[in-house]
């Protein structure tokens, strides 16, 4: 009974303490547990089911574009990692090292992969010999380790799950096309499957991935007005190829370097789902990603025929959605609270009077709207409601984002906005890195991206220095 009470007790209000609200939700909705390994989390069944649904849908979309899955070792020899200087410097503070195998000291330290560019490069240099071997469009699903100083479930942990795509192409044009293609695939996935609107854009030179020629990003806005980098795609040009000697014989029988890309998305997306859609009762899951889309809850289940009818309803709905039946002996009120905490999109309430009338009550998790539904029309109505809920959740999230985008035309306006208005800040930039660094230092906001589809000239001058401006930038505080 004590465990039941803990699950349904009030969580911290997001208005009072958003960080505490988030922690309450991920633990009380039983998505994670804390591990004996500092900075690492245990992903519990409901949390892992979210990742499985993300993985399944992304994998399907990847393969439609010609991607093949492979798997690389989790260890990288130090000498291999050192072959790309900029890349090593970018990851050096976060690298975990293996120095012993059993009781014997290793002759060469092994890095526990923070990312796998160097492994793929070492693989490609022997695999690719001719233009006929190109392109190589590979992806791996794995975990990586980055020794973060401060951790937070899903958003930042020392080990996390992700996918990392690594491709090799004959030309710079093909590599750029693949880089942008995968960024747009991520954006479409977030908006269509997770009901999470994103800004698509390019990272500045300061914020791009270590060793990349260009980095593209999708940025989502959380309920507290902070940005979450939700996926990135990198064009490496031929930089890694030159460092690792990845050459091929082209159609003119000349040796030339390949052009490479890399793109990744991780379990931090689960944190994004929570912070974009959640409320003070817990999770609110978009139907397409929800592990259980419908929970059937029998009322007065001790009465004759109720459990049998509830099971029949569950069986019927299993043909159109992911559905569960709560047959525990908890009270209906406890079950309702539990279903709300876990964010299950719809619940079906079914009691003796409902059965007699040939109907049930369907309750939406997002709006709490109660709808009387004829049992004869249940499959069609549930399908309709799940699609409607998915679409409306996206529109609400998009409205929240759009009403939290502010324009700053001067340094003082940027200061005032950063201090008092959570959200994205649009401001013009002169492209001088010194201005970018000053804005970060003074206001604790970073350049999130130079947007693809929103290069409106809102001013002629840089928001920081007042000199002529060249690009519109989205700035913001970020996780």
CA–CA distance, 144 with 265 (Å, rounded to integer):
12
Listing DSSP states for 385-431 in one string gives HHHHHHHHHHHHHHHHHHTTEEE--SHHHHHHHHHH--SEEEEEE-S
Q: What is the pLDDT along the chain (479 residues), one digit of tens a residue?
A: 444 444 446 799 999 999 999 999 999 999 999 999 999 999 999 999 999 999 999 999 999 999 999 999 999 999 998 887 777 777 778 899 999 999 999 999 999 999 999 999 999 999 999 999 999 999 999 999 999 989 999 999 999 999 999 999 999 999 999 999 999 999 999 999 999 999 999 999 999 998 899 999 999 999 999 999 999 999 999 999 999 999 999 999 999 999 999 999 999 999 999 999 999 999 999 999 999 999 999 999 999 999 999 999 999 999 999 999 999 999 999 999 999 999 999 999 999 999 999 999 999 999 999 999 999 999 999 999 999 999 999 999 999 999 999 999 999 999 999 999 999 999 999 999 999 999 999 999 999 999 999 888 999 999 999 999 999 999 999 99
If one counts every other C-beta atom within 10 angstroms of the C-beta of residue 6, the result is 10
3-state secondary structure of 232: strand
Give 284: exposed, middle or buried? Use CB within 10 Å, 0-12, 13-18, 19+: buried
CA–CA distance, 407 with 426 (Å, rounded to integer):
5
CA angle (1, 280, 405) in 5-degree steps:
160
| CATH number of the 294-385 domain | 3.40.50.800
Which pTM was predicted? 0.95
CA 21 to chain centre: 19
CA–CA distance, 50 with 29 (Å, rounded to integer):
13
Which CATH code of 3.30.390.10, 3.30.930.10, 3.40.50.300, 3.30.70.1560 fits the domain covering 32-277?
3.30.930.10
Whether 360 contacts 369, CB under 8 Å: no
Give 285: exposed, middle or buried? Use CB within 10 Å, 0-12, 13-18, 19+: buried
Q: What's the confidence (pLDDT) of residue 9?
A: 62
**CA dihedral of 411, 412, 416, 419, whole degrees rounded to 10:** 60
**CA dihedral of 132, 133, 137, 142, whole degrees rounded to 10:** 170
3-state secondary structure of 320: coil
Decide yes or no: CATH 3.40.50.300 for domain 405-476: no
CA–CA distance, 469 with 177 (Å, rounded to integer):
28
CA–CA distance, 428 with 440 (Å, rounded to integer):
15
If one counts every other C-beta atom within 10 angstroms of the C-beta of residue 196, the result is 29
Q: Which of 53, 85, 66 is nearest to 138 (CA)?
A: 66
For 119, the enclosing helix (H) or strand (E) is helix 117-127
Length of the chain, in residues: 479
User: Edge-to-edge, what's the strand order for the sheet holding 159-169?
Assistant: 68-69, 136-145, 159-169, 259-266, 227-237, 214-221, 199-202, 446-451, 471-476, 424-429, 405-407
Task: Indicate the domain borders of the chain.
Answer: 32-277, 294-385, 405-476
* Phi/psi at 124 (5° precision): -65, -30
CA–CA distance, 297 with 307 (Å, rounded to integer):
9
Q: Which of 349, 353, 392, 391 is nearest to 371 (CA)?
A: 349
* Phi/psi at 256 (5° precision): -145, 160
């Amino acid at each position: 009974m004590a465990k039941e009470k803990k699950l349904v007790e009030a969580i911290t209000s997001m208005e009072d303490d958003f960080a505490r609200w988030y922690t309450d939700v991920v633990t009380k909705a039983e998505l994670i547990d804390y591990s004996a390994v500092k900075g690492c989390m245990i992903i519990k069944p409901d949390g892992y089911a979210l990742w499985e649904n993300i993985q399944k849908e992304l994998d399907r979309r990847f393969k439609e574009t010609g991607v093949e899955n492979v798997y690389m070792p989790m260890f990288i020899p130090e000498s291999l990692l050192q072959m790309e200087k900029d890349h090593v410097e970018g990851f050096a503070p976060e690298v975990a090292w293996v120095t012993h195998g059993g009781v014997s000291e290793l002759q060469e330290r092994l890095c526990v992969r923070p990312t796998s560019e160097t492994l793929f490069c070492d693989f490609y240099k022997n695999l690719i010999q001719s233009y006929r071997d190109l392109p190589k469009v590979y992806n791996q699903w794995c975990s990586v380790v980055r020794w973060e100083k401060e951790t937070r479930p899903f958003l930042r942990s020392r080990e996390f799950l992700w996918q990392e795509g690594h491709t090799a192409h004959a030309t710079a044009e093909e590599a750029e096309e693949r880089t942008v293609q995968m960024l747009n695939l991520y954006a479409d996935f977030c908006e269509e499957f997770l009901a999470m609107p994103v800004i698509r854009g390019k990272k500045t030179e300061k914020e791009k991935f270590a060793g990349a020629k260009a980095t593209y990003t999708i940025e989502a806005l959380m309920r507290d007005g902070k940005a979450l980098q939700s996926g990135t795609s990198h064009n490496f040009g031929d930089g890694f190829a030159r460092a690792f000697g990845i050459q091929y014989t082209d159609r003119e029988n000349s040796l030339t370097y390949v052009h490479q890309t890399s793109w990744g998305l991780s379990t931090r997306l689960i944190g994004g789902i929570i912070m974009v859609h959640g409320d003070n009762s817990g999770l609110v899951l978009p139907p397409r990603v929800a592990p259980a889309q419908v929970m059937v809850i029998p009322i007065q289940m001790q009465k004759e025929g109720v459990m049998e009818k509830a099971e029949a309803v569950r069986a019927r709905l299993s043909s159109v959605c992911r559905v569960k039946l709560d047959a525990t002996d908890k009270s209906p009120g406890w079950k309702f609270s539990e279903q709300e905490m876990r964010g299950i999109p719809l619940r079906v309430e079914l009691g003796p009077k409902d059965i007699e009338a040939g109907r049930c009550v369907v309750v939406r998790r997002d709006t709490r709207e109660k709808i009387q539904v004829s049992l004869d029309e249940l499959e069609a109505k549930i399908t309709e409601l799940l699609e409607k809920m998915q679409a409306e959740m996206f529109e609400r999230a998009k409205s929240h984002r759009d009403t939290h985008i502010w324009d700053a035309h001067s340094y003082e306006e940027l200061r005032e906005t950063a201090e008092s208005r959570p959200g994205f800040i649009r401001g013009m930039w002169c492209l001088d890195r010194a201005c970018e660094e000053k804005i970060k230092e003074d206001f604790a906001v970073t350049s999130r991206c130079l947007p693809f589809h929103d290069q409106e000239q809102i001013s002629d001058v840089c928001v920081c220095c007042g000199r002529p401006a060249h690009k519109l930038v989205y700035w913001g505080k970020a996780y």
